[in-house]
Chains A and B, each alone.
Chain A
Amino acid sequence: MAVAEAAPELLSPAEIDRAFRDPFSPSKRTKATSWIVLLAVLTAFPLVFTNPAVTSIGVFTMFFLLAVVGWNIFSGYSGYISIGHAVYYGFGQYTVALLIMHLGITSGVSELAIVPLAGLAGAAVAVPVGLLVLRVRRHTFIVLTIAVMFIFQLLAFNFPSITGGSTGLNVTPPPWSGNDYNLPFYYIALGTAAIGLLTSWAVRRSKFGLGLLAIRDDEDRAKGLGIKVTRAKLIALVLSAFFVGIAGGLYAIFIGQVFPQFAFTPFYDLYLAVFAFVGGLGTLSGPVFGALLLGPLQQYFELQFGATTLYLIIYGVLFVVILLALPRGIVPSLADRYRTFLASRWRRAEERRGVEGSGVTAGSMIASAPGAAPAERGGS
């Protein structure tokens, strides 16, 4: 009998996977198909809705999407909520502006070609910043990231010989006509966001990603288990800063100017956190939905209701309702509800069929308690 008891240990990882797979979560194929459909829809969007006013909202939404996906790699997985990612955003903006100015780049294509350098600049500055801010946790971390962001904003004001100070820097935008202008930015941001999402997915599946999740759940225990916590957090921060830096670089070229108060802006930080939270923090798809939903909504509200000053009230109320009704974010909350629904239907079907033996599997056990949020929120 002792042999039989030891048997579960001999199961292959694939078998364990099968045994514990949540029977009501979509299959891998469904998930992959959904991602491909989403990508196709986003790719087709500016070709269907060609109006520049619409694609302009699309461009900013893609910029946000790219940054939120990046932000989530660090804050979502490690649980360290950064309200200071504008540091990397601003660094990306100034890098691009200064390079274009000092290298005298004028053609639109070569301007966009240097955007990856903005990402590298963001990643580079994340190393010293990370070594500083990652010494503290939780709310102290949140406020410290805000403070560091303000330090960078003030430094941009304080060194006018480099940054132009309050006069800012001019970036000559690509000389394209109005109807074509938005598309390159849209597709580059979308492509980079897709790369960001793949990175996020790879991180989530790796041992390194598991380490981050362990840090989120209990950092001291993770440390005790031998995870090099500081290194893991720092690597995640650098990865995430890369994508936010690229968003900054693209933004600077798109808008055509860099000012300290718009490069290092607390609002940007708040938006990233809000988008990720509303969508579902630390999940792969949550931030995507958050950005795709709230990004355009906000601009649309300002456009439609801004002139009546009602827009802030509408936006705020809607936001409160979402937070209170879907406290874990749209994706995890709705996934939970859907699972509850499927499970109850399955149970009813079982009951109708009559109890055919008590074949309780691990899967059905999870299914019968679907409300109990699975520990790995990264699942959806």
Chain B
Amino acid sequence: MKSRQLIGRLWATGPRRRGAVLATAAAVAAMAAPALGAGTAAAHVVRRDALHGVVTIGASVSLSGDFSATGKTTEQGYQAFQTWANEHGGILGHKVVFKFLSDGSSPTQVTTDYQKLITVTHVNFLVGPYSTLLTKPASEVANRYHMALVEGIGGGPSVFEAGLHNVFDVSASAVYQGISFAKWVAKVYKPQPVAYAAITTPFNEPIVTGIKNYLDSKGFTTAVYKVYPLETADFTPIASAIAATHAKIVAIGSQPPDGEGLIKDFVSSGYNPTVLFEVSGPDQGTGFVKAVGKQNTTGVMWPNTWYPGANEGVVNTEMEKILEKEIHVKSVSLLSANMAEAFSAAQTLREAVDHIKSLTNAKLIAYMHSSKAKFTSVQGPVCFKSTGQNACATPFVFQWQHSKQLQVLPSTAAGSSKVMNPKPKWGQSKY
């Protein structure tokens, strides 16, 4: 009440005071304008290849809203790259500086953010935001300014269907992620009913449909296919429905926390599939172990392009060290694959720029599309199809075996261990 009267009095004290308030408002607006980069037409037609002693890379990350958890890890991945690159001579010998804007997990804000990064911050290069949902509008904006968008976390089909020439995904794309697994199943098992479930996101669902289409073509049938919404709070009905089919092979397009939730429900209902594949959940390291219990981890498989402690060479070890130090994690196994995906995007960008020895985006795009352009990232080899997917990506499949995360597929890849098949019953493996 009191504050209301006070504000009321402020407005009622007469024109002079009100004038002062309006003047303050005008002053604030005037100060805000340059901050927003309000300028003349000439000001934002810049030579992006101009150097100011540093190379700037812009990204929009989701620090609030639905993707705030994963948005943060994306930012941490980019920050780790900044530290790493500057310890290793920067880009073309210049210091690397990242410019971040937050998008609140909204495509509207992403659109404004990338325009600001391009026309106000005048960044030299762009890397992607978090998720397919936001990468698409970001790539459209970048395209209008003929800039490349190198990204590692936007592999849903919709990103590549737009026919853009400037988007480059350094991770394995969604449709491709389950393919090693599907091939392995078709080789090891006779055609039989398979149980599927997937969450309705533009990334997770296509992974499962990719597996399903491949297995269907090999004569496998569908025992059940449950598509569940993002807002699902209770996973027990999905688990019950899958358990009731008694299918031996289960493939789930999950994301945390439903991956863990479904396993908990399988365990408590005593349903033991011989093959269990989950897109996300098992990849959460210690978080996964805590959620489902050590004794229940063995045998669970998941696709990924990276995992903590991956044998991907010196850079990977260095990145993990930096991440450990910068975000104060207790153990490397707590690092998330998002960080590596973000890191890889920036890493690939650096390799390409160092090769063309130029800050011109047109040259960069042309080079990354050329057939001889091959890169090495912490996630493995990178080369691009004309649509922007990573054609060299190896869709690795990992498996928990006795509390360790092992790379098992493709079996021909270096560093692969043997697949544990069939998966031991819940609680019956030594850990």
Binding site for B on A (CB under 8 A): 49-54, 56-57, 60, 154, 157, 164-168, 170, 172-173, 176-179, 181, 254-257, 259-262, 267, 299-300, 302-304, 306-307, 309, 311-312, 324-325, 334, 337, 340-341
Contacts and interface: CB of A to CB of B under 8 A. Distances in A.
Given A56-B115, A154-B229, A341 B205 contact: no
Contacts of A173: 140
Interface string B33-54: 1011111110111000000000
Given A54-B38, A306-B101, A309-B63, A167 B32 contact: no
Interface string B230-266: 1000000000000000000000000000000000000
B341 interface: no
A60 B119 contact: no
Interface stretch (B3-11, B343-351, B391-399, B418-426): B3-11
B64 A306 contact: yes
Contacts of A56: 111-112, 115-116
Contacts of A300: 32, 36
A341 B115 contact: no
A267 B108 CA distance: 12
A337 B120 CA distance: 40
Contacts of B44: 50-52, 179
A304 B104 CA distance: 12
A49 B36 CA distance: 10
A329 B213 CA distance: 56
Given A54-B37, A178-B141, A324-B3, A303 B158 contact: no
Contacts of A176: 144
B362 interface: no
B102 A311 contact: yes
A167 B111 contact: no
Given A167-B205, A257-B136, 7 more contacts: A50-B44, A52-B118, A165-B205, A166-B201, A167-B202, A256-B140, A309-B102
Contacts of B156: 167
Interface of B: 3-4, 7-8, 11-12, 14, 32-33, 35-41, 43-45, 63-64, 100-104, 106-109, 111-113, 115-116, 118-120, 133, 136-137, 140-141, 144-145, 156-158, 161-163, 200-202, 205-206, 227, 229-230
A309 B229 CA distance: 28
A75 to B, nearest CB: 22
Contacts of A257: 107, 136-137, 158
A47 to B, nearest CB: 9
Contacts of B140: 173, 255-256
B113 A307 contact: no
Nearest to B140: A256
B200 A307 contact: no
Given A178-B118, A303-B101, A306-B103, A51 B39 contact: yes
A49 B112 contact: no
Of B8, B45, B104, B205, chain A has the most CB atoms within 10 Å of the CB of: B104
